[in-house]
Chain A
Amino acid sequence: MQKNDKLNNVPQNPTEPEENEPEQDEKRSEVLSDLGATEVPQMKSDIHVLTVIGQVEGHLVLPAQNKTTKYEHIIPQLVAVEENPDIKGLLVILNTVGGDVEAGLALAEMLASMRKPVVSLVLGGGHSIGVPIAVAARVSMIAPTATMTIHPIRMTGMVLGVQQSFDYLERMQDRVIGFITSHSAISDKQVRKFMMNTGELARDIGTVLAGEDAVKCGLIDEVGGLSEALAALHRLINEECGCENAGGGGKCCGV
């Protein structure tokens, strides 16, 4: 690892207004050609969107082929969301394949203990450790086509074949199940039944719950998409605020 003074010359925030217009145009062209992106009209929103995508990365930096969500970035970001007076609520969008158990549980605990309203929306998939993250929100939603896989926790790397290893694994599993059942309407027995199901997955044991199934068993609150999730979040924000829009799907008064 080395200290590189060259980095001090790195351009600042690329979205900052530039004094020199031609330079700005040139920069826009660069963005367009390099990233295929254009600048979109700016708007001020009172909600913060957090995406939990790919692998939830824990203590191990995963190789570059993985899309990851880094817990060391998300945790202070949640602190910032809680502290920032301009942010009234948090929308968590999940499309995750799982990841590090402790990092995922840390995120879930942080979300569950936030004072500001949090709504989660599972799109595509919210598998494995994505399940406690999804249920940690005050209102959890799942798209009709999204799925959630509940399967047993596994260990990576060298595992000593002794009773203590299995006891540790079981305790870890109890922690996850305990969190899920205390933040959703599903029962402990039902989660364990889903987890140990042998008749569904070809190369694993467990259960895949699609949108409606996840709601029926009490794991997720509602089936919905973006508009329903945003409406739920604005309703929670309005209830917190106590303004005249309380209970409706409209925007909070902003106070």
Chain B
Amino acid sequence: MLWSVIPEDVVLAGLNEASEVLEGRVGRCDCRLRRGKDGVCTVERLMSTNPADYLRAELAPGNRIWVR
């Protein structure tokens, strides 16, 4: 249930566009990453039960990760 001042069609535009989702360890923390069109991955979410991991700025969602 979306309650926003931005119209729903604007918010949800491109919802069905597929993007590659990867799982792995970043900085000793299991993460889910999303690979963008430019090949650079962004942190999608952490899969950790340690609350301290959620205070780490480098693991904040949207942070760009270069995968070698």
A residues bordering B, Cβ < 8 Å?
1-15, 48, 55, 58, 60-66, 68, 70, 72-73, 76-77, 79-81, 83-84, 97-102, 104, 125, 127-129, 149, 151, 153-156, 172, 176, 204
Contacts and interface: CB of A to CB of B under 8 A. Distances in A.
Given A10-B68, A55-B11, A63-B15, A98 B23 contact: no
Given A1-B22, A6-B24, A55-B11, 13 more contacts: A1-B21, A2-B22, A3-B24, A6-B68, A7-B65, A12-B28, A63-B13, A63-B14, A64-B19, A98-B4, A100-B1, A151-B5, A155-B1
Nearest to B68: A9
Contact of A63 (B17, B26, B56, B57): B17
Nearest to B12: A63
Interface in B24-61: 24-28, 31, 33, 36, 44-46, 48, 51-58, 60-61
Contacts of A55: 4, 6, 11
Contacts of A102: 1
B4 A64 contact: no
Contacts of B46: 73, 76
Contact of B67 (A4, A100, A125, A154): A4
* Dominant secondary structure at the B interface: mixed
Contacts, number: 140
A13 B62 CA distance: 15
Interface residues of B, number: 44
Interface of B: 1-6, 8, 11-15, 17, 19, 21-28, 31, 33, 36, 44-46, 48, 51-58, 60-62, 65-68
